[in-house]
Structure 1
């Protein structure tokens, strides 16, 4: 189970215009206890024209017509991309605040909804063509300031440096 502080702070904000733009959802998959917890990431496959090729990411993708909710999208995309079946071995914890980003092929807005799941299944991955690798990263590694860096990006409004 994730640390209670995650869930106590999870008062999700839904963006009011989210139904009028492209929508996507991701799964933040957590395993282990408070001191030895890990988050699951994928490395995206290299694809021509994809600005996020090779990036580390949470599994997920765009809402499709058959999806009943953004949570269902996150679960469906996770099993498609990784083989990790959140329907069977993922215990739903929380929905987090919507994130505004852009569609990968143009500068139109897209809303991404993150969902947190506690994983209690095996580690057998069956990656599809969208994911190159899957890895569990310890929370203490992610929270260590020595492991942080910055990234400079070009945007339509100029150069932005992100932590």
Structure 2
């Protein structure tokens, strides 16, 4: 690890683009969607999950997406289908695919079985209206400059059977971005920082 690299950036650099065993596990996909803001900057779309009893991620901030279904032609098609179902945002019509980010290993919401999540990056060039389904409470567009600023990074205490962990997070207007979404966000921000 070079002196200028933080442990978080070092860990991201080691994370493989594709997990070699992903085809043998349940798959899920999400869409990271950015657009040009009215102010001239760039902003990223987040959803706030609907609050549901028994859901450990109820009310959390996330990217639209979900589990791959047999009818999905690919994990990327899953991200596009789920985004349309959850938000009404049609990536096949108004989204420009930009990149595939690294696979992440997580677990099913209600079970301890592993699941691979693949993020896909899109530029949005369509209407600003959304149509939310029952899984989503609201859509929030967050400026990328805010998400990247060091002073907006913090930690979230997360209780586990082994004790409390302080998870890295970013707070925005009462919302808290953490966990897998925070990890995906950091990879996206790091990739933008590398551009000439």
Using the size of structure 2 for normalisation, the TM-score is 0.73
In 2, Cα distance between the equivalents of 1:76 and 1:52? Answer: 21
1:156 Cα deviation after fit:
5.1
1:129 Cα deviation after fit:
0.2
Alpha-carbon spacing, 1:156–1:19, altered in 2? closer, same or farther (3 Å) = farther
1:153 aligns with 2:158: yes
Higher relative contact order (CA 8 A, sep 6+): 1
Look up the match of 2:34. Answer: 30
After superposition, the CA RMSD in angstroms is: 1.8
**Count of aligned positions:** 153
Look up the match of 2:167. Answer: 162
Look up the match of 1:77. Answer: 82
Alpha-carbon spacing, 1:12–1:89, altered in 2? closer, same or farther (3 Å) = farther
Using the size of structure 1 for normalisation, the TM-score is 0.87
In 1, Cα distance between the equivalents of 2:33 and 2:20? Answer: 26
In 1, Cα distance between the equivalents of 2:160 and 2:91? Answer: 35
Indicate conservation of the 8 Å contact 1:12/1:95, yes or no.
no
Indicate conservation of the 8 Å contact 1:127/1:133, yes or no.
yes
> Which structure dedicates a bigger proportion of its chain to helix?
2
In 2, Cα distance between the equivalents of 1:74 and 1:151? Answer: 27
1:110 Cα deviation after fit:
1.0
Q: Deviations over 1:114-149 (max 9, x none)?
A: 000000001111000000000111001111222222
Look up the match of 1:66. Answer: 71
Alignment equivalent of 1:101, drawn from 91, 97, 106? 106
In 2, Cα distance between the equivalents of 1:70 and 1:95? Answer: 10
